[in-house]
Amino acid sequence: MTGTDVSVQVFAPPAAACCGGTTWEGAADYLRKRLQQRFGESVSVEFIEMFAPRSFEFPDVLRVLESRGALPIVRVADEIVSQGVKLSEAKVAEAVARSLGHSNKQENH
């Protein structure tokens, strides 16, 4: 992640539609584009298919699911910021701004 200061992970079911026929992977890609418009290359967004090998690298996410948590789960800078709801660009952007140490309102372009 060269040049990236904040990482965002979106954990969701494989190839499942989230709304209006868009897949969770497509929604995560849209979120990536919007966050990079706002914050530039200082943020990365990764879609992680739940129960694929990579998902097991995140024990905090697995614990949430074991305690009846719901997908999708969104992590920003190693902190779970949402679960079981549609992706909220505003909520994720707020968490990214906090992690970068500045106000989200200053980052709107």
User: Is the residue at 83 inside a domain?
Assistant: yes
Query: Residues 46-94: pLDDT tens digits?
Result: 999 999 999 999 999 999 999 998 999 999 999 999 999 888 999 999 9
User: Is the residue at 94 inside a domain?
Assistant: yes
Cα–Cα distance, 17 to 59 (Å, whole number): 25
Per the structure, the complete domain to which residue 55 belongs is given by 6-100
Instruction: Please report, for the domain that includes residue 12, its CATH number.
Output: 3.40.30.10
Q: Structural domain tally of the chain?
A: 1
Tell me the pTM. Answer: 0.84
How many other CB atoms are there within 10 angstroms of residue 47's CB atom? 21
Q: What is the largest CA-CA distance in the chain?
A: 39
User: Is the residue at 106 inside a domain?
Assistant: no
User: Is the residue at 49 inside a domain?
Assistant: yes
